[in-house]
């Protein structure tokens, strides 16, 4: 093959090698022109590369757990060969559980989930490994081995309930007492394509504090012990509403001012706080709302000198939920 190489003044044809072919053509104007076959890169042709083996990359994310009376095995089939070439379809996937072959029907690269009955290994510790095989039957390297103990199926939580809570949504369920068991809580919001594990729990209850009002949520719970999990509970749905009053104002103080009574208290820190309501009453009379304040201070300039007054303050949120009244304070106007 003839190539050109760069030199001062432009590209010049390289001296022909033995066996090289040079083609000479003429343009429409009749002027002669030399056409030299070129390689993809500038320079001479290098040594030929050996043929690609097309061996799939090693599976690196093998994981497995027991769900009820089944083993669930998850892995990702490689999309590249060991040489970095793309794979459109594998020839097979070799999956071994205690050296027993388990069928993996999918041959396309990407996530794979396989389930198989666990009863034949009950009480045993099984070793699980996998490797991908190319379309020409060339196997890749075995994955790391995952081991787990197969146990009798765990009892699933029952009676899952979701109820509103000032901090979000409270979940509670029933489950048989068993040493070492924990629980997993799953949630799905409208934007989720599937349920998401949100937390482990040591007790059969959990408060989800990452919810928003007026959005529907679905929940599930499962029992877990080491690598074993129960079947999921029946789902519980809820659309939480803001029906909870903010905190009661604290440390209300009254100070006699010049022709006024000055009130102060500690600020509320709730995210949905809106305002405070100030109440007043003469001795023996019923408390009535005197004013609404945005800040934790208020000046009552409608008092009569020498007259005693009771004051109390409440807080209100954006939904109009009002707290109970703080403890009343008494003072006589100057």
Q: Got the DSSP string for 175-231?
A: ----TT-EEEEEEE-TT-SS-EEEEEESSSEEEE-S--TT--EEEEEEEEETTEE-P
The CATH superfamily label for domain 63-149 reads Immunoglobulins (2.60.40.10)
Instruction: Write the pLDDT tens digit of every residue in 148-186.
Output: 999 999 999 999 999 999 899 999 999 988 889 999 999
Instruction: Write the pLDDT tens digit of every residue in 112-138.
Output: 999 999 999 999 999 999 999 999 999
What is the rounded CA–CA span in Å between residue 64 and residue 143?
Answer: 13
Q: Which residues pair with 293 in a beta bridge?
A: 276
- The CATH fold assigned to 158-238 is Immunoglobulin-like (2.60.40)
In contact, 148 and 217? CB cutoff 8 Å: no
pLDDT of 29 higher than 60 = no
What is the rounded CA–CA span in Å between residue 194 and residue 188?
Answer: 6
pLDDT of 285 higher than 50 = yes
pLDDT of residue 46: 59
Average pLDDT over residues 263-273: 93
Read off the pLDDT band of 23 (50, 70, 90): very low
Q: How many CB atoms lie within 10 A of CB 154?
A: 21
- The CATH fold assigned to 253-332 is Immunoglobulin-like (2.60.40)
Read off the pLDDT band of 93 (50, 70, 90): very high
- The backbone region for 235, taken as left when phi is positive above 0, alpha when psi lies in -120 to 50, beta otherwise, is beta
Indicate the pTM of the whole model.
0.69
pLDDT of 13 higher than 60 = no
**In CATH terms, are 63-149 and 158-238 the same topology?**
yes
What is the rounded CA–CA span in Å between residue 317 and residue 50?
Answer: 74
Weakest-pLDDT range from 12-21, 76-85, 172-181, 280-289: 12-21
pLDDT of residue 8: 46
Instruction: Write the pLDDT tens digit of every residue in 226-253.
Output: 999 999 999 999 999 999 999 999 999 9
Which class for 227: exposed (0-12), middle (13-18), buried (19 or more C-beta within 10 A)? middle
What residues does each domain of the chain span?
1-48, 63-149, 158-238, 253-332
For the record, the structure tokens of 116 come out as 């198989």
């Amino acid at each position: 093959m003839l190539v050109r190489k760069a030199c001062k003044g432009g590209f010049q044809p390289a001296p022909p090698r033995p066996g090289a072919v040079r083609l000479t053509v003429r343009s429409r104007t009749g002027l002669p022109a030399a056409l030299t076959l070129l390689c993809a890169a500038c320079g001479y042709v290098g040594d030929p590369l050996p043929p690609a083996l097309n061996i799939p990359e090693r599976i690196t994310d093998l994981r497995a757990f027991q769900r009820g009376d089944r083993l669930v095995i998850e892995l990702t089939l490689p999309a590249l060969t060991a040489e970095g070439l793309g794979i459109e379809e594998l020839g097979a996937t070799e999956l071994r559980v205690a050296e027993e072959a388990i069928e993996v029907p999918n041959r396309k690269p990407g996530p794979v989930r396989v389930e198989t009955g666990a009863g034949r290994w009950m009480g045993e510790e099984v070793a699980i490994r996998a490797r991908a095989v190319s379309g020409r039957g060339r196997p890749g390297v075995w994955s790391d081995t995952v081991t787990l103990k197969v146990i009798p199926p765990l009892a699933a939580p029952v009676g899952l309930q979701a109820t509103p809570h000032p901090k979000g949504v409270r979940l509670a369920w029933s489950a048989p007492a068993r040493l070492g068991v924990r629980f997993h809580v799953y949630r799905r919001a409208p934007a989720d394509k599937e349920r998401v594990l949100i937390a482990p729990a040591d007790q059969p209850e959990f408060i989800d504090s990452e919810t928003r009002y007026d959005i529907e949520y679905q929940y599930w719970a499962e029992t877990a012990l080491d690598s074993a999990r129960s079947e999921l509970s029946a789902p519980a749905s809820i659309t939480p509403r803001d029906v909870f009053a903010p905190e009661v104002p604290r440390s209300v103080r009254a100070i006699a001012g010049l022709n006024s009574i000055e009130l102060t208290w500690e600020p509320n820190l709730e995210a949905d706080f809106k305002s405070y309501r100030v109440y007043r009453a003469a001795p023996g009379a019923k408390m009535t709302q005197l004013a609404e304040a945005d800040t934790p201070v208020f000046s009552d300039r409608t008092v009569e000198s020498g007259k005693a007054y009771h004051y109390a303050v409440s807080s209100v949120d954006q939904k109009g939920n009002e707290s109970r009244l703080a403890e009343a304070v008494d003072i006589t106007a100057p």
